[in-house]
Chains A and B, each alone.
Chain A
């Protein structure tokens, strides 16, 4: 558990750099966290991040498949937006817990 400051906002984070309080999230915070990972967020990124935040706050399990069906992007596009490990990166920037991808 650590506190870090992004865009003038103090946010609580776990050991892996995932925000532990989704209410501390702002677009500016997201942009700075993403920048640390070498990624500049565009409107397209934010569409996906907003979708993820909505989905998680409704209690739904988050899967890459669900994002592919979200209408904001397809799975291939999702990989292009967040290269490497899209779900892990996108959840980190969206200020929601790392998906456990079930057990």
Chain B
């Protein structure tokens, strides 16, 4: 029997388990998937929790529900991968052999990387919303908050879902308007980048939106530490921003297992060929999703598009054919802008987000790089699509590769 081992049963690992089990004959291939946690989180839903739009129960389901029959699911901590000998070592001493390995261990926040972030104000006046605990604690805090300086700070790139911080401040604007206390809340968007977003045209449009909503952008701010006593964040070049409520997007890192296995960079993201999605170190290891050091967004859409590439290339490799799939860095993100509207961006390694229509040129129904109600419904509908179609590795009517159809390239 040949063996495929998948590390991580999140979005990427689960999709791959479903796709590979359908393709690989049961009498020839064993498939094993390993994760340390039993709960699958719908991570895009975390954004909605602080504002009372979703509750915890809306974003969780058991991981086991999505792993197909014929795939062995093991709950365990991974010690490391021994790529030379095609073995995975678990922390409880169990050793698994593999012919092919898929790494899908994702990324996690590491607030400990920023001094003072996990100080006495943590989860009192300082919150993250990239965990269920953080977003739930913030929801409770907002229920009784009387206002002041609401500071959102991105500690370092890359982060999961680079548009989520923008969505957060726009949701916050709408939330406090609806509660009749927007005049008591100053919203600051404090980022290490030089604008609202990384890509020029999207940055211009999104930066304009923030301005319209009276959200103050503080660019080029690279946080060194949090001063808990005086309630302010301090940058490396000694700029200071005071806060009454700090919402932090902490430093993100890959799983430390990747570092221990010698497969990663200094942030424990796995070194990955950006086109084939293979490990730079071993040909029989593929990387999917946030765990990879790819120069594209850490986002569910990227996982979904790259799943098709990993699937195709792995089958090529198994069958001894040359690789036929090449990833283009395709990313597609709904951006909630508050008050029942949303925007949508679609881009890849080489093409920045452009205005236009998606997926059908001239028709939509979704509008690119502009605010529409339909985009907001698209995002809400996506939760259902995620649980019922995406995780199960079923076909979606969106190509893995980005298309220029429907995009306008002239200036806006």
Least CB distance from B401 to A in Å reads 17
Contact A65 B224 (CB under 8 A): no
Contact B236 A76 (CB under 8 A): yes
Contact B347 A103 (CB under 8 A): yes
C-alpha gap A76/B235 in the complex (Å):
9
Q: Which one, A32-40, A44-52, A78-86, is touching chain B? A: A78-86
Given pairs A76-B224, A102-B162, 18 additional interface contacts (CB within 8 A): A63-B156, A64-B236, A65-B266, A75-B222, A75-B224, A78-B236, A79-B222, A79-B236, A84-B237, A85-B194, A100-B198, A101-B198, A102-B158, A102-B198, A102-B295, A102-B296, A103-B162, A103-B198
Cβ of B220 under 8 Å from chain A? yes
**Interchain CB contact (< 8 A) of A102 among B157, B224, B237:** B157
Cβ of B297 under 8 Å from chain A? yes
Residues of A within 8 A of B199 (CB): 103
Q: A85-B194, A103-B295 are in contact. Are A64 and B222 (CB under 8 A)?
A: yes
C-alpha gap A101/B298 in the complex (Å):
12
Residues of A within 8 A of B295 (CB): 61, 100, 102-103
Residues of B within 8 A of A65 (CB): 156, 251, 266-267
Residues of A within 8 A of B293 (CB): 60-61
| Top 5 closest pairs, chain A to chain B, by CB | A102-B158, A101-B157, A79-B237, A79-B236, A102-B157
Least CB distance from B183 to A in Å reads 34
C-alpha gap A65/B110 in the complex (Å):
14
Residues of B within 8 A of A61 (CB): 158, 265, 293, 295
B81-113, CB under 8 A of A: which get 1 and which 0? 000000000000000000000000000000000
Contact B237 A103 (CB under 8 A): no
Q: Which of B236, B251, B295, B347 has the most CB of A within 10 A?
A: B236
Cβ of A1 under 8 Å from chain B? no
Binding site for A on B (CB under 8 A): 156-158, 162, 192-194, 198-199, 220, 222, 224, 236-237, 251, 265-267, 293, 295-298, 331, 347
C-alpha gap A85/B305 in the complex (Å):
34
**Interchain CB contact (< 8 A) of B266 among A69, A76, A83, A88:** A69
C-alpha gap A100/B296 in the complex (Å):
10
Least CB distance from B273 to A in Å reads 10
Contact B192 A101 (CB under 8 A): yes
Residues of B within 8 A of A75 (CB): 222, 224, 236
Contact B266 A66 (CB under 8 A): yes
Least CB distance from B126 to A in Å reads 21
Residues of A within 8 A of B198 (CB): 100-103
Q: A76-B236, A103-B331 are in contact. Are A84 and B156 (CB under 8 A)?
A: no
23 A-B pairs in the complex with CB atoms less than 8 angstroms apart: A60-B293, A61-B158, A61-B293, A65-B156, A65-B251, A76-B224, A78-B236, A79-B237, A83-B237, A85-B194, A85-B220, A101-B157, A101-B158, A101-B198, A102-B198, A102-B295, A102-B296, A102-B298, A103-B162, A103-B199, A103-B296, A103-B331, A103-B347
C-alpha gap A26/B224 in the complex (Å):
33
Residues of A within 8 A of B220 (CB): 84-85
C-alpha gap A60/B193 in the complex (Å):
19
CB-based nearest A residue for B269? A61
Contact A103 B297 (CB under 8 A): yes
CB-based nearest A residue for B297? A103
C-alpha gap A61/B296 in the complex (Å):
11
CB-based nearest A residue for B222? A64
Least CB distance from A72 to B in Å reads 14
Least CB distance from B258 to A in Å reads 15
C-alpha gap A75/B235 in the complex (Å):
10
Contact A88 B194 (CB under 8 A): yes
Q: Which of A61, A75, A83 has the most CB of B within 10 A?
A: A61
C-alpha gap A15/B79 in the complex (Å):
48
Q: A100-B295, A103-B198 are in contact. Are A63 and B157 (CB under 8 A)?
A: yes
Least CB distance from A84 to B in Å reads 7
C-alpha gap A58/B300 in the complex (Å):
28
Residues of A within 8 A of B156 (CB): 63-65
Q: Which of B194, B199, B295 has the most CB of A within 10 A?
A: B295
**Interchain CB contact (< 8 A) of B193 among A63, A78, A101:** A101
Residues of B within 8 A of A100 (CB): 198, 295
